[in-house]
Amino acid sequence: MAKPIYILNGPNLNLLGTREPEIYGADTLRDIESACEETASRAGYDIVFKQSNIEGELVDMIQEARESACALIINPAAYTHTSVALHDALKTLDIPSVEIHLSQPAKRESFRRRSYVAEAVTGTISGFGANSYQLGLQAAIKLL
């Protein structure tokens, strides 16, 4: 049995559905998880889907993925723009890794233009709403 694909979510993404829906859409994180489960299972993979508001917990999840995952997808949310710790943890991976965003940070406030994560992952997908998760999953599966 193949190892699962880890899908990690950073701070405030637990509020999707009610948080700034004009930017992030109406889907809840649970809706997104179900859609990911379906896409992954059609390709023969299980997923492990997690969310944390705490930077160190996300570092722990990435370290767990080093051993337990075949690929990693991460929406680091606000930590994208601040976290050297997530950058360093992602650099330790030798599995495919995809940074995803619902919105297109490059079109928003200037503080969102810097991603510490982009320099440490295989590739980035952003701006497609909840569909960014599907596209990220497809990109990871193609690399497996």
Q: How far apart are CA 115 and CA 87, in angstroms?
A: 9
Residue 113, Cβ density class (10 Å: 0-12 exposed, 13-18 middle, ≥19 buried):
exposed
Q: Should residue 138 be labelled a site residue for ligand DQA when binding is judged by CB under 6 A?
A: no
Nearer to ligand DQA (CB atom), residue 67 or residue 110: 110
Nearer to ligand DQA (CB atom), residue 3 or residue 50: 50
Q: Which residues are catalytic?
A: 24, 101
Out of 82, 103, 122, 138, name the contact with ligand DQA by CB under 6 A. 103
Q: How far apart are CA 3 and CA 20, in angstroms?
A: 35
Give the alpha-carbon dihedral of 130, 131, 133, 138, to 10 degrees: 170
Stretch that binds ligand DQA, among 26-34, 36-44, 89-97, 101-109 (CB under 6 A): 101-109
Q: Which stretches of the chain bind ligand DQA, using CB under 6 A?
A: 12, 75, 77-78, 80, 101-103, 105, 112
